[in-house]
Chains A and B, each alone.
Chain A
Amino acid sequence: MEKGIHLEFEVSGGNFASAGTASDEIKKHLKQLGIRSEDVRRVAISMYEGEINMVIHAGGGRALADIYLDRIVIELIDTGKGIEDIELAMQPGYSTAPEDIRALGFGAGMGLPNMKKYTDEFHIESEVGKGTKVVLTVYFAENKKSG
């Protein structure tokens, strides 16, 4: 079985001061591993967007990361209110964030689109009233397996 580094983080809901902690930790790990900075940036941005989404919409959640030689797989899991229409939520500019959140600079409706844009594989599943799970995969350019 393929071995990797497994990391888990709790993301607390409504806490904007600590939002980004998990992404920051992952960024440090990837830098230490010598991953190309552009790939580190793609991971950090997409994971931070996910963290912020959980803080704003889901009352927090869990972030699981598995780092392999050629890629990182991040699972963002929450038990929040879920997304009614994923297709609509994926549209750039669509947002359900309240006014106080927008005043902080969030809620531009670019979170999910950014996560898709900056990852190589993006998967989202959600059930209203139960929660949302997002899986992000980023391949590391110089380590990507050929064939």
Chain B
Amino acid sequence: MKAQKIAELLNARIVNLNAQSEITTGYCGDFLSFVMGRAPSGCCWFTVMNNINVAGVAALADIGLVVLCEGTKCDEALRAKSLLTGINIIETDYDIFSAVLKVFK
């Protein structure tokens, strides 16, 4: 599924998005070491964590798309780093469970 399609399904606000990124699976979690240890490469990561380290983890673990859920706003440092490093990040008002259902049901 294209990242653009996920953004549409979630009525998402775009922080940074390469619309053509291909997403095949997902991962949910907020503890960054769990994400790094378990999130599959190229996945869509659903989280409420919004600090700058999200970009670091996403880049190092090859996360395909970060979805900030529950109306969480991307903080400015994270926004700047995502634009600099090309990490895909979108914001949605859906809670994590609902967001996953919207995308993968």
- Give A residues with C-beta under 8 Å from B: 16-17, 19-20, 23-24, 27, 37-38, 41, 44-45, 48-49, 104-111, 113-114, 117-118
Contact = CB atoms under 8 A, between A and B. Distances in A.
Nearest to A23: B60
Contacts of A45: 36-37, 60-61
B32 interface: yes
Contacts, number: 70
B20 interface: no
Nearest to A43: B60
Given A24-B59, A48-B60, A104 B51 contact: yes
Contact of A108 (B34, B41, B60, B61): B34
Contacts of B33: 49, 106, 108-111, 114
Interface in B25-76: 30-34, 36-37, 41, 49, 51-54, 56-57, 59-62
23 contacts: A16-B51, A19-B53, A20-B53, A20-B56, A20-B57, A23-B56, A24-B60, A37-B41, A41-B41, A41-B60, A45-B37, A45-B61, A48-B57, A49-B33, A49-B36, A104-B49, A105-B51, A105-B54, A106-B31, A106-B32, A107-B31, A108-B32, A118-B37
A10 to B, nearest CB: 17
Q: Is the interface of A mostly helix, strand, loop or mixed?
A: helix
Interface size class of B (residues with CB under 8 A): 20 to 34
A23 B62 CA distance: 13
Given A24-B56, A114-B33, 5 more contacts: A16-B53, A20-B53, A23-B56, A38-B41, A108-B31
